[in-house]
Structure 1
């Protein structure tokens, strides 16, 4: 509104200035025309009396001008600027330049007396409270003047007319005041009318649209403005509604994406405050979603081992770079350590300014447990392998001693009833039978020796000794055969 008022004032002021300038110029031009006409009439009236040298008639003409033309001053000067005739008789014989107060007028009079050419313009001067319009006309030395002045002087003098214009300037001033008053009232009326029209057609509608825009900037996207006008504001309003609808659609799309994320997910603002957390993330932390939104930071909620150093969220907020698959260990509300794989990225606006960040978490508890089980299984297998190697080595050592003739060592059975126990048990049984057979052989040999001893002593008959010896030999042969078979 202020701009429109300034524009109206500027254009109206320019119009006032042009009007006043035109009126002033027109008034001065009319006065100058009248002044030149008076100059020509005066010259025509005194030309003949001057030609015949009748100064009385000239004086009467100037007296008539004095009486009938109030305020008009007419002077006739010689070529030395001395006043010869004047409507103001007391100024006769005085220098003309004493009665001209404007330097340009004085210079114009001197130029006219030298060149014989009238000046191209009139001159305005002010003497006290009075203003005059000055016109100058040269008096040339015509043929009719030669009988008195001779022919050597080209210019005999000049006629100077001073027309009072004080009343004209006063009238122009009054006109200027009236015009200023009229245009001031006009400007005020135009401004009030424009203000009324703008208030009804523009200002109210724009103010209402601005209020709705403020609501949108505060986060309320349920705003809808109705304006069916065909002007630019109506088009702006319709575009505003379309923009809000697009914003709602994008927000709904984003909300749908958030709801569609099954894994634990949360978002933070630049101060690390949690602005959104889904049920899965809240359940993982052991809290309710509404308790932490806008209240707690992610560090206060998750207590991760990366919170102080290497935090993916802090990295995203600081550099805008994403982090994928970072392994962290968090402590939930129950104090239980939970292994997680997290991926984080920054949330940016259209200018690239970081507005926050989000993080998606994946619970690795089952994977970690599987890793522990696999590791324990591997360790058990390694222990079993080492034990098996030890038992095989023990068995090998026993067999080596047996091969050297030592039948006393036995392999230790673990009691697990595994294949190795079965393998160990067979050699142990074989060694036990071999020991038993050897014992039987020793006893049989002892019997043979005893029989031979009896034979040697002759206590028995040869037949008995022979039978006993044969029986002993058979028993020894059977034992050896059984040993070989085993």
Structure 2
């Protein structure tokens, strides 16, 4: 296994990879060079051989011409035999201008190419075999020179032809020997260049690479003190300098990281303590708090939440919010409302099982990147506060009823006096047996009208004293406003006051407790009447706008002083302490309207009266 690993490492080394690239590349270069050199040598050798053959036939023709001029024909055969003795020359034949062979060492068959050469006067070259040997044959025209005109017609351009055949074997042997020399020389050059390249690569490339390899191995082992000596100024020298610089920076970086790691360890310890303190603080809050994700899963919950819903004290809740929170359902979930609108939701819900009333507050929360993660649920038990508020409201109503008592008693006494008079008259008529049907009917109708009047007064009083905890109902704003006006009229507080009504017809219904709304109207209109001291104009206006119904109540009193404008809704703030004012009327009115998701606004200028606008949502 070890030897295989070493072999694998050796194969993966840079040296082997360089050789795997250099050797094939060198062989390819060697092959291309050898091929091109061989082609060049062959071409040059053939050129040399061609020049040699050209020189031979020039000498032969020159000797033949000298012998012909001298008239020594026998010398021509001796010349042919002489040249025929050369190893390369295999055939020498002379033809006259008729194409007939006239001189030769060994006569041969006629050749039609001779006639073509005589006709064209151009050199003819071709290949053929003499026996089993390949030869290059040349048919050279013998020109008719001026010194030959004494025997030949000077009009003839060619007076004969020479057929010369030269063996190719010598040329092939020379070329083969030349190839061997070239191959040997190229192989020697290739080996020398390869050795020089390997030596140079080892010294100039591999040795610096090994030093860099050892440096990286040292750094991998954590030795950041290791430095590599820079021996050259080339790219490897620059790389070595950068490597040493990187090592120093890494050493500094790891020292900083080590320091930061110690700081993080300390911070983590502090964070653990802080998280524990946060959890303890989280659990000390008596309100129910939980964190709900986008899938309605309860992610975290404090001790109060777990205790109220009978959950384990520790560990994940692993339930949906609508499964355990009894104050909401899947179809009416405050978390879903907050998630859909990406806004806080505040509602009051009643636990059907315990009867407790909770102020539910749901706030969306986001990641540092701004992604919506879920909501934070806070449930505050406001049962005791609600009971106190209800007692406060009822006390305010009772105080108002005390102020109304004399006026209402007077209003009830008047119809009762009429009923009594009608009853006495009827009894007297019955005793005298003098009862007419028309008179009897008239008395009965008067009694019915007065009874209806008393019933109306008592009904208005019952509506006013109705408990705020009673069920909400659909209410016509105009009708409820008129009931509040009638109650004030029963007290006789509208005498001398002009009531100006501007009611919009067909207003949509609103849903809330009628007694609470009458109390709101009674408090605001009562303050307006007190401000006008029983004389002036009271303006009543109703309408709706963008899903809301509004009521405007205006007076022509002295207005609200600027120093009192920010305090009129504060509990127990009153300017009528000497007249029995409690300072709770507007405070309770503002609370009732806000609990029903409405609001009260006012505009006032000193000396020009005040205008209060009550706005309530349409359901």
Q: TM-score of the superposition, structure 2-length normalised?
A: 0.41
Q: Compare relative contact order (CA 8 Å, sep 6+) and give the higher one, 1 or 2.
A: 1
Q: Which is greater in Rg?
A: 1
Q: What TM-score do you get using the length of structure 1 for normalisation?
A: 0.50
Higher helix share: 1
